[in-house]
Structure 1
Amino acid sequence: MKILIADDDPQLVRALRVTLTAHGHDVFSAQDGAAAVTIAADTHPELVLLDLGMPRLDGVRVIEALRGWTTAPIIVVSGRNGGADKVEALDAGADDYITKPFQIDELLARIRALARRATTHSTSPLVTFGDIQIDLSAKTVTRAGALVHLTRTEWRMLEFLAKNPGSLVTRQTLLKGIWESEQVSDSGYLRLYMSQLRRKLEAEPSHPRHLLTEQGMGYRLITD
């Protein structure tokens, strides 16, 4: 996989380059936001690791520039751990967010998850986890082969997560997508519908393994 690292910390870039190359990836790097956009246009990376606080062009602006022409997964790797920064980056088009300092094994797992998502999304309408099978084409869900009845809203919420397995889907994205309005605010609706989905799809709804909450940000479907 071709990976672009956009970060102005040369030590971090060097360490990531060594690790990612050892795992068989082709690595490119950029030390500022403007260079990241230019290098991405030249190399067409399959995944981007992006810091937010870079010179010349802020990371969120880089995400917006890239999303103008590519759907390649973008993982923000940033020292900013505020909820507002994360939501802004994810709403701009990032697929995931990991806070510095981080464990390299976690980053590699996030990369693998996004790579699987890209492959699954392009080849099959079926998403499976545990004994659950979601058919995005037929708009059906089965559990151990038996059809599971979902309300329209439950299906819409699950559909957003299933189309982006492994990735964080923000509350704002869900609210806008489900109710098709910028004016809807979350007054507990999402928690309610997520609770209902877990009751129908998780083996232990009170200890979910697949339908996970990212506190203050949104939800994530884990298919492993």
Structure 2
Amino acid sequence: MSDSQLVQLLENMLLTPASDFYLSSILYNPDGSALDPLTIAEVDLGSFTIEKIPIDIVIKKLNILGLSNSQVKLDNGTDPEIVVDGSTVTFHGKQPNTQDGYQRPPAVPNQIQASGELHVNLNHTDMPPGTFSLTINHVDDLTGVFSATEAVDGQLDTAVVNFSALSVNPVVGNGNIKIDIDLATVFKATINQLLNEDANQTKLIAALNGQLSNPDLLASLSQVATTEARKALATI
């Protein structure tokens, strides 16, 4: 089978909820080897000033759930937003997944949810850690790029899937992203308001996309996708 035929098969499977290579299926692995769940060790939001007092904010151990509750977008309701160039596939998805036939795993929330430790340095003094939580109501564009080839021509069980890019692009503003913190300080409400500003929500999304573009994460996701592709193709 040619690589182009292989790509056509996988392109169809990416859209099929019953397939092992369905988008939600390859993004979810409870052992953390895929995309959902995902942990970011640290997000440095930088330095700010509150009432002339310097403050530095860092989020640690940010655990993110729900990214796998995604599907390929359908243009005009019928045409998948997928572009194929040789053996390379670029897809555009959305979150949450509303496709008929998809059953979301119990451990996966409908919306993207994240929680972590909030570390604040106030006036050059470290405060006791607080808590940080985030909810993204919907993601209008989740973009992924992967290649699909056969290590041995004509043998589907040697299919290899390599992800080279992945990003999420939710709308910032209009209440789509909500951040809540708990911190033992009179500045709690002010810091919470600060983190909910569009510019700082944009920083968080940039940090998430930085993690998604990490070569180690893409390599791990590629291994999962390759395994799921071979399982799906075994039924052909």
Q: Which TM-score bucket, shorter chain as reference?
A: under 0.3
Larger Cα-atom Rg: 2
Larger strand fraction of residues: 2
TM-score, normalised via structure 2 length: 0.24
TM-score, normalised via structure 1 length: 0.25
Larger helix fraction of residues: 1
